[in-house]
Amino acid sequence: MTASVGALPRIPHTGRVTQARLLLSEWTKLRSVRSTVWSLLVAVVFTIGLSALVPAVRMHHLRPGQHIDNPLELTLAGVQMAQLAVGVLGVLVISAEYSTGMIRATMTAAPRRLPVLWAKAAVYGATVFALMVPSAFIAFFIAHSILQPHGQAVAFGAAGVVRALIGAGLYLTVIGVFGLGLGAIVRNTAGGIALFAGIMFVLPPLMNVLPTSWNNAASPYLPLQAGERILQLQGGTLSPWQGFGILCCYAVAAIAAAAVLLKRRDV
């Protein structure tokens, strides 16, 4: 595989780094590694697959005359799995650059640094949204076809259904960006995943050690509880969009902290 040395052909030095070019580069990065394909496949397969499995099992065990009050929750059960996959991949999108050393090549090509973070968040968020909104709608129609014969389905046109389905895509998008922000802060895959899982899944049950009044006051504002309001048709302290807004605040805070650190720390 020895190449004889020819002179390096010259090319015009006309290109410059732009936000659009960084978006394209980050898209190439995202689609060209296996972890992306696997994580997103898990998110889609679980979202769609559990929308068949969970309602089917529930209908099988339905007692005569019983009426379920949470058909949409059964429908979107897969989002619980999808959020883990999407959050972990969000961490990986940035932490894998640190663990492999790729970040040095990235920051050498785009030494202003921050546009890289914006591009990563935008490309990853858009990818998750584009995949998960259709997945949520497919999940709805599959679940609907299973629930309908038992008279348990909620109509597509019912209040809040479309909002909840688009909301599932929005929720997962923001969860993914939140994971990316955490990954950029700790710059380490294991640490990033632990931090993400800790905030999302360990913190809520931990709130039970607080006095009940404190717990009741604080819990609705945690990222998981607040964010999931947009998937629900009823109940809750916060309105669906209030809850979603609070989740967005967590993601923005994580990305902002990551941006400050990215600018100040050595690569």
Q: Given the rule CB under 8 A, which residues bind other proteins? A: 1-3, 5-11, 13-18, 21-22, 24-26, 28-29, 32-35, 96-97, 100-105, 107-112, 266-267
Residues 6+ apart with CB under 8 A from 6: none
Helix (H, G, I), strand (E, B) or coil at 163: helix
As measured in angstroms, the least distance from the Cβ of 148 to other proteins is 44
Residues 6+ apart with CB under 8 A from 147: 55, 59, 71, 74, 75, 153, 154
As measured in angstroms, the least distance from the Cβ of 258 to other proteins is 17
As measured in angstroms, the least distance from the Cβ of 231 to other proteins is 32
Q: Closer to other proteins at the Cβ: 105 or 218? A: 105
Q: Closer to other proteins at the Cβ: 33 or 159? A: 33
Structure token pair of residue 195: 């931090």
Q: Closer to other proteins at the Cβ: 32 or 66? A: 32
Q: Closer to other proteins at the Cβ: 35 or 237? A: 35
- The CA-based dihedral angle spanning residues 120, 122, 128, 132, taken in that order and rounded to the nearest 10 degrees: 180
Q: Closer to other proteins at the Cβ: 119 or 177? A: 119
| CA atoms within a 13 Å half-sphere pointing along the CA-CB vector of 40 | 23
The full DSSP string for 55-78 is: HHHHHHTPPTT---S-HHHHHTTH
Structure token pair of residue 152: 């348990």
Structure token pair of residue 141: 């129609």
Q: Closer to other proteins at the Cβ: 7 or 209? A: 7
In the chain, where do the E strands start and end? none
As measured in angstroms, the least distance from the Cβ of 40 to other proteins is 15
As measured in angstroms, the least distance from the Cβ of 96 to other proteins is 6
As measured in angstroms, the least distance from the Cβ of 246 to other proteins is 34
